[in-house]
Each structure stands twice: as structure tokens, then as C-alpha cells.
Amino acid sequence: MAALSAPARNASGIRREARAKINAFLRVHGEREDGYHEIESLVLPISLADRVTVRTSAKLRVAVKGEDSLSGDVPVGGLNLALVAALALADECPDAGGALIEIDKRIPVAAGLGGGSADAAATIDALNELWGCGADAATVDALCERLGSDVPAMRAGTPVLISGRGEKLEAAQVPPLHWILVRFGFGVRSPDAYRWWDEDGGGTGPDPGPLLSAAAAGDPEVLGPLLFNDLEASVVTRHPAVGRAKKRLLDLGAVGAVMSGSGASVVGLARDRGHAEEIAVGIDDAVAVAGPPPA
């Protein structure tokens, strides 16, 4: 199902765009025996993206730069998911060597936008080519599933309906829509968001059938009121700014608004590009984005 854009190769190495995602809905069914939660979600890639570039180097290292993260090298053994992805691929690749993985970071960290997972997926695909591993789709898919619940969906690069803990993917047909993304100066860790849902006795949202039909039709007026996220109420209780941002989006005319993933980012749905840009101007730390991008 890999649908990431073809890598750009030049004197600077191989480059990939690692697109952020939003969750048009997130339905939580409860905790599983393995400690994860059973979920359903419609995952849509958006125009906001990190840029991952890999090139041959004497050793394996990651350098991150950008306004939402510290610049500099990440040492082997660090927690950067792109580095973990590189090490996982190296275990499967007889010809693996060193590599410099440079991440131009534009997706906020711990924001419910899948930035770390997107970087990991892009790193695997780019290094598979750089090192000449020849890892087939099944091998890469298995690596992605082991790396994290969001990584398979982020590697798909197209709209997908996910289930299980996030590893089960089903292609979804959704035309481009226009969104307003509100970012915060803080993040929410996924384990915390799910734990809060457990502690608060969180409920499971409605049948997503009508939402999926509206999304497939590309009708923002119908889709907007149907957006939902079962984790949202518990996050808002701990971070009221999330709720205030959602209200602000609706007050300014968004046809719907919802927290993305485990938060803290909030997205509003607009009627068209101009409408999205108009609303974004009225909110601090907001930007108009489109998604999913055309195939």
C-alpha cells in the first residue's frame, strides 16, 4: 500500500516528504490484552510535511532542525523514531552501512499529527534505496508495524481506515478537503491520552458510517458536524486550551472541528481554501492546510 512520493535523488542524497496526518474520527473500543487500545479511525494525510534526506556517511546518525525541535545530531541509542527505524532496517539489510538522516522538522512534536511516525516511514523507504537493501513490501510493512501503531498508516501516504491498534489498513477514497490546523506550545503523549480515557471511563463514539460516506463525497457541510474523537474530552479536561481552540474555530465559521489523534492539535474543516485561509488569520498559531493531497 506504500504510496509515498518517489524519492528525489541528487548530490544531496535521497529526499522524502513525510506528511502529517489528521484523524477525521477516532473511535476507541477499550484496552486490549497487549496493553494497546482497540481503535478505528479515518486517517488523512495533509500538506504539512517534514522533509527527510538520507545520504551515505561513515556512521549512522540523525540531525534534526526546525522551529519545533532542537537542532543537532541525535546519538545512536536516542529515542528518535527515525533512528530506531534505520536500525530496524539495518538488521534486515546485509549491505547496510552508515547514513546521515537529516530531518527538516515542520510537524509539531507530540501533536497528534503523526510526525515521528511519518519520519520513520520515510526513513525506511529512503534507506532501503540508499543501501540497496531490496526489502520487499511485506518486509517493510512488518518493520513499520513493529515500530509503532501510526507508522503503517503514515507510510501509506493516502487516506486509510485503520483498525486494531492501528496496524490494520483499508484504503479509503476521500477527495481533497481544506482544514485549519491549530497548534499549541505543548504536546500530549499518546499513552497519557489513552490512560486518561481509561481513568475517566471514556465512551465509544457513534457508528462512523455516515461520516465515511460524507468524507467519500467530499462534502464539508455534511462531514463537519460528524467529526469526533473519543480521546478529546479527557484531553480537554487536562488541557482546556484544546477546547477553547475548538470553540474558536467554530465561532469563526468552521463547519466542524475536532482534536487530531491524541492531541493536542485541533483541526477545523472549511468549505474551501479561501474559507480556510480566512479563518486561520483570526487564530494564533493556526495555518490552513489541505488534504489528502491529490494522488
Does 65 map to a domain? yes
pLDDT tens for the chain, 295 residues: list them: 444 444 444 446 999 999 999 999 999 999 998 889 999 999 999 999 999 999 999 999 999 987 544 334 444 444 589 999 999 999 999 989 999 999 999 999 889 999 999 999 999 999 999 999 999 999 999 999 999 999 999 999 999 999 999 999 999 999 999 999 999 989 999 999 999 999 999 999 999 999 999 999 999 999 999 999 999 999 999 999 999 999 999 999 999 999 999 999 999 999 999 999 999 999 999 999 998 876 5
Residues 152 and 223 grouped into a single domain: no
Q: What is the pLDDT, as a whole number, of residue 71? A: 35
Residues 212 and 98 grouped into a single domain: no
Does 117 map to a domain? yes
Annotated active-site residue in 21, 50, 119, 141: 21
Q: 21: closest CA among 124, 142, 107?
A: 107
Total number of domains in the chain: 2
Residues 157 and 269 grouped into a single domain: no
Residues 278 and 145 grouped into a single domain: no
Note if the pTM is more than 0.85: yes
Cα dihedral: 36, 37, 40, 45 (round 10): -50
Does 16 map to a domain? yes
Residues 29 and 156 grouped into a single domain: yes
Q: What is the pLDDT, as a whole number, of residue 79? A: 57
Residues 162 and 179 grouped into a single domain: no
Q: Which of the listed residues 150, 170, 190 is the one where a domain comes to its end?
A: 170
- List 118's β-bridge partners, or say none: none
The x, y and z cell numbers of residue 218, run together, are 467530499
Residues 144 and 207 grouped into a single domain: no
Specify whether the CB–CB gap between 84 and 147 falls below 8 A.
yes
Q: How far apart are CA 93 and CA 102, in angstroms?
A: 21
Annotated active-site residue in 50, 141, 150, 230: 150
CATH number, residue 52: 3.30.230.10
59 is a catalytic site residue: no
- List 180's β-bridge partners, or say none: 268, 288
Specify whether the CB–CB gap between 211 and 223 falls below 8 A.
yes
Q: 231: closest CA among 268, 204, 250, 249?
A: 204
Ordered DSSP codes for 85-122: HHHHHHHH-TT---EEEEEE--SPTTSSS-HHHHHHHH
Q: What is the pLDDT, as a whole number, of residue 295? A: 57
150 is a catalytic site residue: yes
Q: What is the pLDDT, as a whole number, of residue 16? A: 95
Residues 153 and 193 grouped into a single domain: no
Beta strand 228-229 pairing with 13-31? parallel
Does 2 map to a domain? no
